[in-house]
Every structure is written in structure tokens, then in C-alpha cells.
């Protein structure tokens, strides 16, 4: 139990645990202090200065985010001096920011305008100092004229993903936030997870916008436009229409997609069931024939790129199974034409994802052509709003058959530990030859960054691990390399909480919001009549009519992928820019 200290905030006495910051103490006292560079649980801040407060006896104003409380401290958060200082600091910060509010790509609510309102700033009177920069366009777009150098992206990339793609380059007025040597992001080891995008308070970092291209396809009478949406989308899209976090939106989402003009509405959850039967089959083969273990899940393209870039020696550990999006894409482009008698070249397949890395995944050689466009949850919400569709007033509708039916196992794919649990439900039954009624593998659930569990059922003993965030994944990989961890199966999702915390999700995503989105998916699973992927009747139908057996030659051709080593960080800096570009183009 921590010692309590007696402090005063704005003249009122409080007992607070020793060692916490003024910011934390004010939060506990219900007093809001504006922050910009501070990111709860990621970085303590100390850079921007917007959180300054007066402390009795201190010569200068103190930064609330990094100053610890002490016995007898008297803190004032709303004096004329504090108000003036915050306005000046914020004005200087905004001098670097090119305000183009009406056309800004930043989703509402805009934090920059919110802070201005909170501190009472109505006009920026300092001379605007932003410099025009060339825009960096790829999966993640960078617009440096909007950057206020708060460093949230730098800290996110380093502390959550352990990658350090973005750095503070240069000093003073000449400093900028960019990849080293201002390289385009596509020429760096960035895994396109979009975690920096969801934390950037300005429109300096945004995802590639594909909405116009999808709208064009929807208006083309010669196209048959098919859409499918990912497991985690249904647990979050409601937030962008004013519903509380954790509200499941499925029927209304399907109805909105039909209103937008999509010819078929399918579900990536079907692809998740397909991934599980192929992945469980692969795991069993690897165990039986003593092939490379531990096997790593391969559903998360950011994680796959991370292994290719940083741990190429472990590429054989990656499951060769494509992700649910990619498997469904292959089935839709290769089986739907036969099933519906539509020419393949008429089909346009659009997916709705919680993820920015999925926009990168569809450019991989094994997948290219199977999915035409990926929209994030934010992009879809924007399209629904532009079309004037009142999502909440729509009557529920159901996804189309056969690729709209799914099991409870597929429903939990969007949350960390979900892919592992779904795979275990199938693998354990296939390995033991028995049917089990208790399907909940609780030890693999939760939000702890690394979870290790032992499965001990009948004669079967399996040791598995789950990690979310690439920083945590790195820790697990190092342990495996150093023979400190002996497991057979590893699940990694790059984003905090898994896809429910993906880079394409509504902003903000707090820990509380993550917990609610996760609960929604576990509830969906619990309420499903079929809770194992191999029991989905339409998966059985696909194998009977089209694929043959699990792991068949046809299944391998369509549903499995190859991975390759990408140039690593050191290689990049030993080469000229032209050489790097040539190298990148090779992949």
C-alpha cells in the first residue's frame, strides 16, 4: 500500500498516493488538464508544455504530466498565468500547422480544435511558420504541413511496435517528424499498422483513402460489386454513429451496405472459419511429421511483414495459411463466378477492415487481384454518412449465403487470443478424435500483452502463447530464439487488443473501449449455435463442391501463401536511394 500525501488542488485538500504526477492527481480529483504529447500508458510526455500548472513556491510553471506530487504541495490549475501560458504555448504549436479544416482528412472529433476550445483560444495571432513539404503517399499518408511535432507517432511506433520508423529528424526550426532521411514510408520497415494514425491529433497521418474508387465501382453498371466485412468491424462501427462502445451492429450494417449498392454482402467471418480449418490441419501436420514448430499465426499482415523484415530466419514458422480476408477473396474471385454464373472480370471485391495493413496485404503477389479495395471502418462510416443513410433507423438484414454464415469461433477472431482459441477448438477435436462441449479456452483470453497456456486434454499436451503489439511479439521471439520458451503454437496480432484496436478503427480507442469491443465479440460467440469452424455447414459445402479435402492441392494453390525476406534496416542504409527504390519494386 502506497503512502498517502496531503496536497491541495485549487485550494481544496486531497489525500493522494505518493509518487503520482500532478496530472494523475488532478484526474483523480476530477479536474481536466489539457495534454498533447502525453499518451496514457505509453509515454509520460514532458514535451509540449500545454499541461502547465502553478505550484506554490515553485519559480516556474510546472508540467503536470512529469511533475510528481509531494506532501503539502499546493497546485493551481486555472489561474490567469496558467491560462495565458497555455494559450501562448498552443499558439506557437499551431504556428507549424497548416489549417485546412473543411478539407482535412482527419476524422471528427478533431483534437486540435477541441483543445483550442478547452483552453479558450479563439485566434492564432503568431506568424504561421509551416513549410511546404512534398506529401508522402502510400498505405499511410504523411502531410508534414499539418504536423505539430507532438511526437505521439514517434512514441507509438517505438513503444508499442518496437520499430522506430518515425523519428525526430534535425533540430529546432529545421526539425521534422519523418522516417530517417525523410524516406517514403513504403521504403522503410513500417508495417502499416496505423497505430500512429489513430494517435496523431492532426491530419498529418491518415490512411490511403479508397472511398472514391469504391463509389465509382458501385456506379459502374458493368461491375458486380461484392463486399465483406471483418470480425472486429461489427463491434466498433456503431461508435461512429453515436452508439456506446461494445454495441454489436450487424443487421443494420448489412442493410446499409445494400443501400450503398453492393450486389452481395458477405462476411469475412466465413473466411475466418476457412482459415481455421486449414490452419488446424497445418498445425496437426507439423506436429505429426515433426515439421517446423512453433507455428505462428499469419492472419495479421503487419505481423507477417514484421517477421519478414526483422526475423527472416523464422519465416518457416509462419503458417502458410492466408488471412481470412485473403482466403475469402480467393474463394469469391474463383468460386463465385461458377456459383452465380458471373464473369470473373465483372466482380469487384471490397472488404471493410479495422485495419490499415490490410490495404498493404492486398498488394502482396499471392493475393493481388482477389480483393480490389480495402476500406477502414472510418472510411465506410464516412461513405454511409455521405450517402445520407441513417444507419440506426434501418431494419436489420442478413448477410448473403453461402459466404455469410459463420461460427462463434470466427466471431472472436478480432480480439487478441481469438485466433488461438478458434484454432484450438478445431485442432483439439481433430487431434483427440473426440467432441468436446466446453469450448472456452479461458487462459488464452485477456489483455495481458503475453499469455502462455498449456493444453492438457486426454493424451494431448500443447503449449501455446499469445502476444499482442509487436513489442510484445519481439519479446516472445527472442525467448524462442534463446530456447527460453518451448511452445508449439504462437498467435500474434500487431495492434493493442488485436483487431478491435486496429489502425482503421474509430478514434479514440481507449483500454475501456477495447474491453467493451472484446466483450461484444465474446457475447456473439456465446450466442452462436455453431461455435466451431469445422462445423460451419457452408465450409463443408465449399470443400465438397470446390476444394476437395482440407489441405488439398487446390486448397494450397488458392488458400496458402509464400513469404520472402525483405531488405532489412541495415541494408537500406548501405544503399543509395535509387538502389532502395529498385529493391522495393522487386517485391
- Provide the binding-site residues for ligand SF4, judged by CB under 6 A: 140, 147-153, 156-157, 161, 163, 165-166, 177, 190-196, 200-202, 204-205, 300, 302, 354-355, 357-358, 493-495, 498-499, 502
The residue (of 294 and 414) whose beta carbon lies closer to ligand SF4 is 414
The residue (of 169 and 263) whose beta carbon lies closer to ligand SF4 is 169
The residue (of 160 and 389) whose beta carbon lies closer to ligand SF4 is 160
**Smallest separation (angstroms) from ligand SF4 to the CB of 13:** 37
Cis-peptide into 508, omega within 30 deg = yes
∠ CA 482-484-490 to the nearest 5 degrees?
Answer: 95
The residue (of 147 and 518) whose beta carbon lies closer to ligand SF4 is 147
The residue (of 264 and 468) whose beta carbon lies closer to ligand SF4 is 468
**Smallest separation (angstroms) from ligand SF4 to the CB of 302:** 4
The residue (of 121 and 495) whose beta carbon lies closer to ligand SF4 is 495
Alpha-carbon torsion angle 532, 538, 542, 543, nearest 10: 40
The residue (of 77 and 376) whose beta carbon lies closer to ligand SF4 is 376
The residue (of 162 and 251) whose beta carbon lies closer to ligand SF4 is 162
Q: How many CB atoms lie within 10 A of CB 313?
A: 9
What is the rounded distance in angstroms from the CA atom of residue 493 to the CA atom of residue 210?
Answer: 24
What is the rounded distance in angstroms from the CA atom of residue 303 to the CA atom of residue 296?
Answer: 10
CB 162 within 8 A of CB 474: yes
Query: Which residue(s) pair with 226 in the sheet?
Result: 264, 349
**Smallest separation (angstroms) from ligand SF4 to the CB of 184:** 12
Cis-peptide into 206, omega within 30 deg = no
**Smallest separation (angstroms) from ligand SF4 to the CB of 57:** 34
Alpha helices (H) along 137-241: 152-159, 195-199, 211-219
**Smallest separation (angstroms) from ligand SF4 to the CB of 398:** 25
Chain position whose Cβ is nearest to ligand SF4:
502
**Smallest separation (angstroms) from ligand SF4 to the CB of 323:** 7
Cis-peptide into 294, omega within 30 deg = yes
The residue (of 408 and 501) whose beta carbon lies closer to ligand SF4 is 501
Q: Is the dihedral of CA 419, 421, 426, 431 positive or negative?
A: positive
The residue (of 224 and 303) whose beta carbon lies closer to ligand SF4 is 303
Residues in the chain, how many? 587
Q: How many CB atoms lie within 10 A of CB 128?
A: 11
**Smallest separation (angstroms) from ligand SF4 to the CB of 166:** 5
What is the rounded distance in angstroms from the CA atom of residue 75 to the CA atom of residue 73?
Answer: 6
DSSP category for residue 447: S
**Smallest separation (angstroms) from ligand SF4 to the CB of 313:** 21
**Smallest separation (angstroms) from ligand SF4 to the CB of 94:** 11
**Smallest separation (angstroms) from ligand SF4 to the CB of 150:** 4
Residue 526 host element (H or E)? helix 511-527
CA atoms within 13 A on the CB side of 343: 4
CB 344 within 8 A of CB 292: no
Expressed in angstroms, the distance from the first to the final Cα of the chain is 55
The residue (of 193 and 225) whose beta carbon lies closer to ligand SF4 is 193
**Smallest separation (angstroms) from ligand SF4 to the CB of 361:** 8
What is the rounded distance in angstroms from the CA atom of residue 225 to the CA atom of residue 430?
Answer: 37
Q: How far is CA 391 from CA 42, 210, 224, 382, 473, in A?
A: 35, 21, 23, 12, 38
Report the candidate in 241, 265, 270, 267 with the shortest Cα–Cα distance to residue 255.
265
- Helical packing angle, 268-288 and 418-432, nearest 10°: 50
Amino acid at each position: 500500500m502506497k503512502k498517502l500525501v496531503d496536497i491541495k488542488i485549487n485550494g481544496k485538500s486531497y489525500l493522494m498516493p505518493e509518487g503520482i504526477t500532478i496530472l494523475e492527481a488532478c484526474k483523480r480529483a476530477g479536474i481536466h488538464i489539457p495534454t498533447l504529447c502525453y499518451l496514457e500508458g505509453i509515454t509520460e510526455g514532458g514535451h509540449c508544455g500545454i499541461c502547465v500548472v502553478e505550484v506554490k513556491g515553485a519559480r516556474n510553471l510546472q508540467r503536470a504530466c512529469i511533475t510528481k506530487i509531494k506532501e503539502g504541495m499546493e497546485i493551481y490549475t486555472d489561474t490567469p498565468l496558467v491560462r495565458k501560458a497555455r494559450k501562448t504555448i498552443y499558439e506557437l504549436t499551431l504556428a507549424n500547422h497548416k489549417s485546412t479544416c473543411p478539407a482535412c482528412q482527419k476524422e471528427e472529433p478533431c483534437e486540435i480544435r477541441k483543445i483550442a476550445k478547452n483552453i479558450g483560444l479563439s485566434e492564432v495571432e503568431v506568424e504561421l511558420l509551416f513549410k511546404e513539404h512534398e506529401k508522402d503517399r502510400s498505405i499511410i499518408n504523411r502531410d508534414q504541413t499539418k504536423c505539430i511535432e507532438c511526437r505521439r507517432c514517434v512514441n507509438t511506433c517505438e513503444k508499442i511496435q518496437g520499430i522506430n520508423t518515425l523519428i525526430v529528424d534535425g533540430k529546432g526550426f529545421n526539425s521534422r517528424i519523418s522516417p530517417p532521411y525523410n524516406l517514403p514510408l513504403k521504403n522503410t520497415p513500417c508495417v502499416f499498422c496505423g497505430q500512429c494514425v489513430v494517435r496523431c491529433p492532426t491530419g498529418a497521418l491518415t490512411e490511403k483513402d479508397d472511398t472514391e474508387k469504391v463509389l465509382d465501382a458501385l456506379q459502374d453498371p458493368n461491375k458486380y460489386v461484392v463486399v465483406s466485412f471483418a470480425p472486429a468491424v461489427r463491434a466498433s462501427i456503431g461508435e461512429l454513429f453515436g452508439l456506446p462502445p461494445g454495441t454489436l451492429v450487424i443487421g443494420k450494417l448489412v442493410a446499409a451496405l445494400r443501400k450503398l449498392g453492393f450486389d452481395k454482402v458477405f462476411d469475412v467471418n466465413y473466411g475466418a472459419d476457412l482459415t481455421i480449418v486449414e490452419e488446424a490441419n497445418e498445425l496437426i501436420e507439423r506436429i505429426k511429421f515433426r515439421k517446423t514448430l512453433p507455428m505462428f499465426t499469419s492472419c495479421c499482415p503487419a505481423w507477417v511483414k514484421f517477421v519478414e523484415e526483422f526475423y527472416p530466419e523464422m519465416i518457416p514458422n509462419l503458417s502458410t495459411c492466408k488471412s481470412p480476408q485473403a482466403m475469402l477473396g480467393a474463394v469469391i474471385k474463383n468460386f463465385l463466378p461458377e456459383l452465380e454464373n458471373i464473369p470473373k472480370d465483372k466482380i469487384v471485391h471490397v472488404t471493410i477492415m479495422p485495419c490499415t495493413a490490410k490495404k498493404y496485404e492486398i498488394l502482396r503477389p499471392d493475393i493481388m487481384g482477389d480483393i480490389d479495395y480495402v476500406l477502414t471502418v472510418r472510411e465506410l462510416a464516412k461513405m454511409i454518412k455521405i450517402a445520407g443513410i441513417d444507419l440506426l433507423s434501418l431494419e436489420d438484414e442478413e448477410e448473403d449465403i453461402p459466404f455469410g454464415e459463420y461460427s462463434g469461433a470466427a466471431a472472436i477472431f478480432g480480439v487478441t487470443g481469438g485466433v488461438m482459441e478458434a484454432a484450438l477448438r478445431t485442432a483439439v477435436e481433430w487431434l483427440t478424435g473426440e467432441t468436446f462441449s466446453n469450448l472456452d479456452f479461458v487462459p488464452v483470453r485477456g489483455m495481458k500483452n503475453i499469455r502462455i497456456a498449456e493444453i492438457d486434454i486426454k493424451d494431448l499436451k500443447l503449449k501455446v502463447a499469445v502476444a499482442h503489439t509487436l513489442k510484445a511479439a519481439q519479446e516472445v521471439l527472442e525467448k524462442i530464439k534463446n530456447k527460453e520458451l518451448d511452445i508449439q503454437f504462437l498467435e500474434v496480432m500487431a495492434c493493442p487488443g488485436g483487431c478491435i484496436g486496429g489502425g482503421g478503427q474509430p478514434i479514440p480507442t481507449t483500454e475501456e473501449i477495447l474491453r467493451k469491443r472484446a466483450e461484444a465479440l465474446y457475447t456473439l460467440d456465446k450466442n452462436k449455435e455453431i461455435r466451431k469452424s469445422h462445423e460451419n455447414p457452408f465450409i463443408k459445402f465449399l470443400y465438397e463442391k470446390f476444394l476437395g479435402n482440407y489441405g488439398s492441392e487446390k486448397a494450397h494453390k488458392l488458400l496458402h501463401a509464400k513469404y520472402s525476406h525483405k531488405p532489412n534496416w541495415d541494408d537500406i542504409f548501405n544503399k543509395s536511394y535509387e538502389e532502395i527504390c529498385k529493391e522495393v519494386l522487386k517485391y
